[in-house]
A and B are shown apart, each in its own frame.
Chain A
Amino acid sequence: MAERSEEVKLLGMWASPFSRRVEIALTLKGVPYEFSEQDIANKSPLLLQSNPVHKKIPVLLHSGKPISESLVILEYIDDTWQNNPILPQDPYDRATARFWGRFVDEQIYVTAMKVVGKVGEEKDAAVEATRDLLKLLEKELVGKKFLGGERLGFVDIVATLVAFWLMRTEEVVGVKVVPVEMFPEIHRWVKNLLDVDVIKKCIPPEDEHLNYIRARMDRLKLKSV
């Protein structure tokens, strides 16, 4: 039993890929935690006080001490609870994993967001640009069960953003960004992810998630009119 002083609390949001990746890591490590759902539209004093710089979820509070930015949190979890390592041991492999983690957030996520926000030719260009980036991920998966190799690792956890957010959003938006003919490896990998209990447990329930994405898209459309 963890003592009270060892308390782990996650300030998150159920539908956020950034928040969910922290849950995956904690669950993989078997760390008990309290989840505190945050209202993004009306930020709580605890969130503002815990992440005064970015004012964003997720924030992990460990014994009251806050850690922000999901990639930083994942590494913190791996450094603090060393069972079931998330990052490889070898420095070169670690650097490579960090590289792909940043690639997912800074390239794929940023580019894919444009697919949602744009129309017409600009949208088509954003789809193409996203696919160009995904092709690199596709190549990384050749001959591997997971991006981490035989075992689920850091990059898989980060790239659940592709598997369960990007690939669920495309159903709602009606543009197939990741067609199976073009990305067989990514589709195979998503199936492998779904065979992992921790992943199944930690991703948002599909129906509820699709409804949420739909509502969000409608709001975005209203804004852009």
Chain B
Amino acid sequence: MADEVILLDYWPSMFGMRTRVALEEKNIKFDYREQDLFNKSPILLEMNLVHKKIPVLIHNGKPVCESLIQVEYIDETWPGGNPLLPSDPYQRAQAKFWGDFIDKKVYGPTRLIWGAKGEEQEVGTKEFIEMLKMLESELGDKTYFGGETFGYVDIALIGFYCWFDILEKCGNFSIDAVCPKLIAWAKRCMKRDSVAKSLPDSDKINKFVPELKKKIGIE
């Protein structure tokens, strides 16, 4: 049976990038449908009744919501090719722990860095660097977070990389100065086709953020 795979997404979304990378890793052809988040399409509203948020992965008509759940779904549905999660239960749990950490602890501060000013922005910057340091220590000297193979935690984090430049500019700091191993890791990931194909250029994000701020009325 031919699979019909549709991705409702928005190009600057680091969450959407996860699902794109996972699909590319598995060599799954998909129909990418860019969404206008300021004017949500009927298909988005219908497919994600609860949160009305992208990304939504629609597989043979059935929607899967939440990017990390999508990545795991992709891994379980297409187990051939590169496994994204380790098969050992303990290693799997660790990978999920760090994925959850990125959602809970890394995303929030990034919004403060580009979206807030003054003290709030400083708090965000400090928090973000703290969290990156924790990730850097988890990465250690490994090639990827899971060891030798690219996988779930790499996918969960790599989308943030194309936002690093704008975050550094807004928060006036250098990630490379505090987390050189993390930057080296990101560059390694960028050499993979799946990642290179799925992430927009930093320049595009740099231009997008001021426009976004205007659009949501914080500039």
Contact = CB atoms under 8 A, between A and B. Distances in A.
B34 to A, nearest CB: 23
A53 B77 CA distance: 31
A73 interface: yes
Given A53-B134, A99-B65, A72 B77 contact: no
Contacts of B96: 69, 72, 75
Interface of A: 53, 62, 65, 67-69, 71-73, 75-76, 79-80, 91-92, 94-96, 98-99, 102-103, 136
Contacts of B45: none
Contacts of A98: 66, 69, 72
Contacts, number: 60
Contacts of B50: 99, 103, 136
A79 B89 contact: yes
Question: Which are the 7 A-B pairs with shortest beta-carbon distances?
Answer: A79-B89, A91-B76, A76-B93, A95-B73, A80-B89, A91-B77, A95-B64
B100 interface: yes
Contacts of A69: 96-97, 100
B208 to A, nearest CB: 26
Nearest to B97: A72
Interface size class of B (residues with CB under 8 A): 20 to 34
A79 B96 CA distance: 13
Of the candidates A67, A72, A96, A136, the one having the most CB atoms from chain B within 10 angstroms of its own CB is: A72
Contacts of B126: none
A68 B97 contact: yes
Contacts of A76: 89-90, 92-93
Nearest to A73: B93
B92 A94 contact: no
A193 to B, nearest CB: 23
B101 interface: yes
Contact of A79 (B92, B97, B100): B92
Interface string B82-120: 000000011011101100110000000000000000000
Nearest to B90: A65
A102 B72 CA distance: 14
A67 B66 contact: no
Given A69-B97, A91-B76, A99 B92 contact: no
